[in-house]
Amino acid sequence: MAAPDAAAHARRGPVADPPPDPAPRIDTTVPHNARIWNYWLGGTDHHPVDREMGERIRALFPEIADNARADRDFLARAVRHLVTACGVRQFLDVGAGLPTRDNTHEVAQRLAPDARVVYVDNDASVLAHARALLTGTAEGATAYLHADLRDPDRILAGAARTLDLDRPVGLMLLGVTAFVDDDAEVHRAVDTLLGALAPGSHLVVSHPTDALDPVRAREVRDAWNARGTPKLTLRGPDRIAALFRGNRLLDPGVVSCSLWRPDHPGATGVRPVDEYGGVGRLP
């Protein structure tokens, strides 16, 4: 992939991708994953249909908000590790979700103000709130692209307007591959993205699983899939690990998100959750 022109790289501050025209319609009649995730995280960007489904799932699985928080805390620890220990200064966050506390660019730019971040999501509500993700440092850059994980070539073309793909990138796929049901399709997308990244890039994945509590995890999946969009697929740790395609998995491998390099190892109260994650390094 050719490096973007020097002028684009010299650009300072938020860089927005041109939004689609016309803007995609926000459907408030069907629960949407981005909005229900925001609800469980304590945000404000959701509708009655999302809250109703959020509570129906919480009734089946009272710890659901802990899973969402464990995923976000994992995101923050993984970004911190990539910036401080691996020298990564660029991030491509696909399935970014609605803005919340400690978005990828906030974690990265606190440690490296020149960090550059491209967010991608395919949800109309995320697009509508994307401006809140474009608030980075003057030294760095943030951009938003309305695109689908299943269209990796478009994602790469959009990302290349803000990121230098000849330098390492942290590819963040948190909670998003679960919304592509077909293994072949998800592998094609991930492989295409990884294939365009420079040596020293990293892949960060989190994914809901049924490894710990299969009965309840499947009840939650079925309740969501009865009405919610997009449809959810659970994958076990081996299928999640397969997404890394033989790239070296950093210790401790694919584990419950809450147990991936916790800030206070051995602290009481760190509970494993049925949301697994891992970080891999491209040679």
Ligand X SMILES: C[S@@+](CC[C@H](N)C(=O)[O-])C[C@H]1O[C@@H](n2cnc3c(N)ncnc32)[C@H](O)[C@@H]1O
Site of interaction with ligand X (CB under 6 A): 33-34, 37, 71-72, 75, 94-97, 121-123, 126, 148-150, 174-176, 179-180, 230
> Which CB, 64 or 126, lies closer to ligand X?
126
CB of 107 to ligand X, least distance (A): 12
Distance CA 22, CA 19 (A): 9
CB of 91 to ligand X, least distance (A): 12
Which DSSP helix (H) or strand (E) runs through 195?
A: helix 183-195
Q: Which of 165, 172, 238, 239 is nearest to 195 (CA)?
A: 165
> Which CB, 94 or 254, lies closer to ligand X?
94
> Which CB, 3 or 132, lies closer to ligand X?
132
Distance CA 110, CA 115 (A): 9
Helices (H), 117-162: 124-128, 152-159
CB of 217 to ligand X, least distance (A): 14
> Which CB, 76 or 163, lies closer to ligand X?
76
CB of 199 to ligand X, least distance (A): 25
CB of 59 to ligand X, least distance (A): 19
Helix (H, G, I), strand (E, B) or coil at 101: coil
Spatial contact of 240 and 183, defined as CB atoms under 8 Å apart: no
User: What Cα–Cα distance (Å) separates residue 179 from each residue in 32, 168, 233?
Assistant: 12, 26, 6
Report the residue closest to ligand X, judged by CB.
97
> Which CB, 5 or 67, lies closer to ligand X?
67
